[in-house]
């Protein structure tokens, strides 16, 4: 409907015949967020540039077939545990849990068939001044071998003229672990621009990061100071300025693929700022999570095509994923991912866009 802040359309079908829908949320001046029910994926995010134009700034696919064919997490909701768990093992109340190992020797992003591969249900559509869609998914006890039935509720909402809010909540019927995130792949010059993000300027509000081993599991040491290292983004720097320095941590991650340690008070605060030099787009990311995974697209290798038929290559996108620290179930010194009956897991992230003359 013309002028409507919400649009709901078919987007495809699963092999079993179930329908996948796309919901478009509209802000001001052409700002849009497009969400599909498969994987609760942020399929497109249309943001203004400094010249009065608009473009999609998240990588992914134009049609559902691309999401179904390749599991690359483009814009997906990741769970039950985002990031990695060493050897896929952890103990909970004395019980050993063994997860599927799907990333070298480790478990990654919820296992072989995580939340990114599930069909979520539309629970509510809000057509008010702050348009929103709420999606729900129930993960049964034992899914991917995680304990407890987990009821997940996720709301995408336009909370400002060019601002998208993501609120995730989860409840369980027995002790479990939970760590959710959105895995958006951002290129603020545009998803089909064919440009690298290495000249994007990045700021991260963190004084420490987690050093990793060659399998991307945090080392058994306290967080390292960013000062004096290529990981210092406390002031804005181009992503590629020091990415080729001979630092062992850059070797282990093949670039940036590390968790930055944010404040732990659970309050929404600025975590990162990303600026594009040509379009003038600026994205601020605010979150209440204790960590931010900064990933410079190191494993994108040109083997698949994305929107506009463009091949997706190394450093074509930047991921900024707020969540609890990786391998936290095995690290009592890390923020805890434990969730008990009666408790509520809560994750709030905001993507705030602006544009300034380059």
Please classify residue 341 by burial: count the beta carbons closer than 10 Å to its beta carbon, then call 0-12 exposed, 13-18 middle and 19+ buried.
exposed
Q: Cβ distance 215 to 349 under 8 Å?
A: no
Q: Which two tokens stand for residue 288?
A: 């209440």
Q: Cβ distance 287 to 293 under 8 Å?
A: no
Q: Answer yes or no: 189 catalytic.
A: no
Q: Which among 32, 144, 275, 321 is annotated as catalytic? A: 321
- Cα diameter, the chain: 59
Q: Answer yes or no: 109 catalytic.
A: no
Q: Which among 61, 109, 183, 258 is annotated as catalytic? A: 183
The answer to whether the bond into 80 is cis (omega within 30° of 0) is yes
Sheet strands side by side (includes 121-126): 121-126, 132-139, 150-160, 163-172, 345-355, 281-287, 269-275, 201-204, 237-238
Residue 74: φ, ψ to 5°: -60, 110
Stated length of the chain: 358
Instruction: Report the C-alpha gap between 168 and 76 in whole angstroms.
Output: 13
For 59-111, strand residue ranges (E) read: 76-78, 84-85, 89-92, 95-98, 107-108
Strands 338-339 and 281-287: unpaired
Q: Which two tokens stand for residue 108?
A: 């990654």
How many other β-carbons are positioned within 10 Å of the β-carbon of residue 124?
Answer: 11
Instruction: Report the C-alpha gap between 321 and 191 in whole angstroms.
Output: 18
Question: What residues are annotated to the active site?
Answer: 183, 321
């Amino acid at each position: 409907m013309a002028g409507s802040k919400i649009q709901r359309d078919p987007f495809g079908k699963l092999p079993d015949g179930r329908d996948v829908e796309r919901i478009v949320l509209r802000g001001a001046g052409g700002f849009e967020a497009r969400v599909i029910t498969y994987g609760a994926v942020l399929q497109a995010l249309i943001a203004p540039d400094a010249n009065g134009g608009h473009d999609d700034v998240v990588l992914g696919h134009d049609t559902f077939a691309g999401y179904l064919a390749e599991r690359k997490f483009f814009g997906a909701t990741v769970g039950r545990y985002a990031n990695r768990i060493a050897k896929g093992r952890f103990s909970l109340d004395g019980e050993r849990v063994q997860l599927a190992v799907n990333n070298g020797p480790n478990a990654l992003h919820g296992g072989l068939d995580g939340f990114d591969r599930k069909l979520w249900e539309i629970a509510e559509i809000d057509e008010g001044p702050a348009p929103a869609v709420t999606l729900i998914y129930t993960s049964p006890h034992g899914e991917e071998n995680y304990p407890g039935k987990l009821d997940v509720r996720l709301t995408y909402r336009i909370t400002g003229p060019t601002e998208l809010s993501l609120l995730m909540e989860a409840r369980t019927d027995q002790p479990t672990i939970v760590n959710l995130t959105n895995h958006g792949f951002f290129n603020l010059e545009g998803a089909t621009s064919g440009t690298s993000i290495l000249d994007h300027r990045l700021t991260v509000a963190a004084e420490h990061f987690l050093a990793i081993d060659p399998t991307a599991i945090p080392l058994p040491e306290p967080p390292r100071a960013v000062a004096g290292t290529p990981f210092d983004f406390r002031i804005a720097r181009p992503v590629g300025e020091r990415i080729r320095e001979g630092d062992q941590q850059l070797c282990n991650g093949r670039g940036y693929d590390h968790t930055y340690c944010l404040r732990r008070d659970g309050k929404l605060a600025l975590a990162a700022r990303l600026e594009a030099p040509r379009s003038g787009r600026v994205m601020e990311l605010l979150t209440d999570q204790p960590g931010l995974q900064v990933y410079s697209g190191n494993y994108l290798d040109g083997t698949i095509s994305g929107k506009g038929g463009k091949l997706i290559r190394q450093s074509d996108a930047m991921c900024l994923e707020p969540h609890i620290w990786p391998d936290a179930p095995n690290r009592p010194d890390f923020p805890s991912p434990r969730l008990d009956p009666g408790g509520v897991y809560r994750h709030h992230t905001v993507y705030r866009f602006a544009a300034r003359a380059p």
